[in-house]
Amino acid sequence: MRQIIIIGSGPAGFTAAIYAARANLAPLLIASSVDAGGELTKTTEVDNFPGFPDGVQGPDLMVAMQKQAERFGTQVVLDDVTNLDLAGETKKVTLGNGEVHEALTVIFATGSAYRKLGLADEERLSGMGVSWCATCDGFFFRNKTIAVIGGGDSAMEEATFLTRFADKVYVIHRKAELRASKAMQDRAFADPKIEFLWNKEVEHIYGDTLVTGIGLRDTVNGSESTVDLNGVFIAIGADPRTHLVHDQLTLNADGTVAVVGRTSRTNIAGVFAAGDVIDPTYRQAVTAAASGTVAALDAEHYLAALPKALVMGATQPGEYTPESAAVSA
C-alpha cells in the first residue's frame, strides 16, 4: 500500500507529485497511456508560464515537470485508471493492465476532455477533416481552407497556429464577442488569413470521405448558410473528466468536482481534487499547478493526522528505486 496515489499528469498532477515526493510520500502517479502530460502536450508556445521569459513549448514544459517529480521519487505509470474505489480508508485504483494499487490518499487531477459539437457527421468525419488537435493535424491543411469553431483562448491559438499552413482560416463563434484573452484576440484580429464569422452555429458538416463544407445557422436571425472548406478544428471548450468518480464524489452543477472552500478536500476523507477538474473559471497551467500544490499539502496534513501504525504500513520512502520506475515508464 502507498501513502498517496495521484491520478493525472497535467500541471496539477505533476505539481502535486513534486510536493508529495519532496515530503517523502513516495507518490505513485498514474499518467494515462496516451494522454500523458495533458492538454499542454497539444499546444505549442506557452508564453504565460512564469519563469520562461522567451516562452516554452507545451510538450517540453510537461517533460520538465515529469522529470522534476521523478527527481524526488515519484513513480510515473503510463496506464489508464479503469476503476476507482474511494469509499474505504484504503483507496483502490485499478489500471488498464489489471493491476490494483492501494493508497491512503488519492489526488484526483484528471483535467478535462474536449467538448464535441454533438453532430452525427462530426464522429463520422473525424480524421477525415474533423480534428481536435491543430498541432497534430494542421500540417495536412497546407494551402487549404479551414474553420476553427470556438471563441476562447484555445480557439484563437489554434486559428493563429493554423495560418502557418492554411490559406484561409474562418473562426466561427456563436456569439458576437470572444471569450479569449485580449492578447490572443489581438493576435487573431491582426492576422490577414483569419476571417471571423460571428453569431454562427455549426449545424452540419458535409463530406463523403473528406470534409467538403459546413452548414451554419445564424444565432440571431436564424438564417442558414454554407461554407466550402477542407477542415474543421473544434475548440469549443472542455468538460471536467469525472466519469471515474461521478457516483462517488459530489459534483457541482457545472460538472466540476466539489471541494471545500479554498481546500482540495472532496466529500470523501482522504480524497483530494485539483486542477481543471475542480475549476470552472480560470483553467490555466499556473492555476492548475497551484491547485496541485494545495492538494499535496492537504493530503500531507491528512496523512499526518492518521494513526501512526496505519501510515507506517504504507510504502515508506526508500522503497522507491529508479529501476522500479524504469520498468513502468
Partner 1 sequence: MSAAVDVTDASFDTEVLNSSETIMVDFWAEWCGPCRAVSPILDAIAAEHAGKIKIVKLNVDDNPQTAMKYQITSIPAMKVFQGGEVVKTIIGAKPKPQIEADLAEFIG
The residue ranges that bind partner 1 (CB under 8 A) are 32-37, 41-42, 59, 78, 80, 96, 126-129, 131, 133, 135-137, 139-141, 209-210, 231
Query: Are 149 and 233 a contacting pair, CB within 8 Å?
Result: yes
Residue closer to partner 1, measured from CB, 271 or 285: 285
Gyration radius from the chain CA atoms: 22
Beta strands per DSSP E along the chain = 2-7, 28-30, 45-46, 56-57, 75-77, 81-85, 91-95, 100-108, 112-114, 130-131, 145-149, 168-172, 194-197, 200-207, 211-218, 224-228, 231-234, 238-240, 271-273
Residue closer to partner 1, measured from CB, 42 or 200: 42
Active site residue 279: no
Active site residue 298: no
Least separation, in Å, of the C-beta of 280 and partner 1? 26
The C-alpha atoms of residue 256 and residue 35 are separated, in whole angstroms, by 20
Least separation, in Å, of the C-beta of 143 and partner 1? 12
What residue has cell string 440571431?
A: 220
Q: Strand pairing partners for 207?
A: 211
Least separation, in Å, of the C-beta of 317 and partner 1? 29
Task: Indicate which residue of 136, 167, 186, 254 is catalytic.
Answer: 136
Angle (deg, nearest 10), helices 58-71 and 11-22: 20
Q: Strand pairing partners for 27?
A: none
Residue closer to partner 1, measured from CB, 95 or 311: 95
List the grid coordinates of 85. Answer: 474505489
Task: Indicate which residue of 35, 80, 121, 137 is catalytic.
Answer: 137
Residue closer to partner 1, measured from CB, 131 or 264: 131
Task: Indicate which residue of 79, 85, 133, 191 is catalytic.
Answer: 133
Least separation, in Å, of the C-beta of 215 and partner 1? 20
Least separation, in Å, of the C-beta of 324 and partner 1? 18
Residue closer to partner 1, measured from CB, 182 or 243: 243
In sequence order, the 6+-apart residues with CB closer than 8 A to the CB of 64 are 56
Measure the CA angle with vertex 178, ends 176 and 184; round to 5°.
145
Nearest to 235 by CA among 184, 189, 274: 184
Residue closer to partner 1, measured from CB, 78 or 227: 78
Least separation, in Å, of the C-beta of 26 and partner 1? 25
Active site residue 136: yes
Burial category of 290 from C-beta neighbours within 10 Å (exposed 0-12, middle 13-18, buried 19 and up): middle
**Residues taking part in catalysis:** 133, 136-137
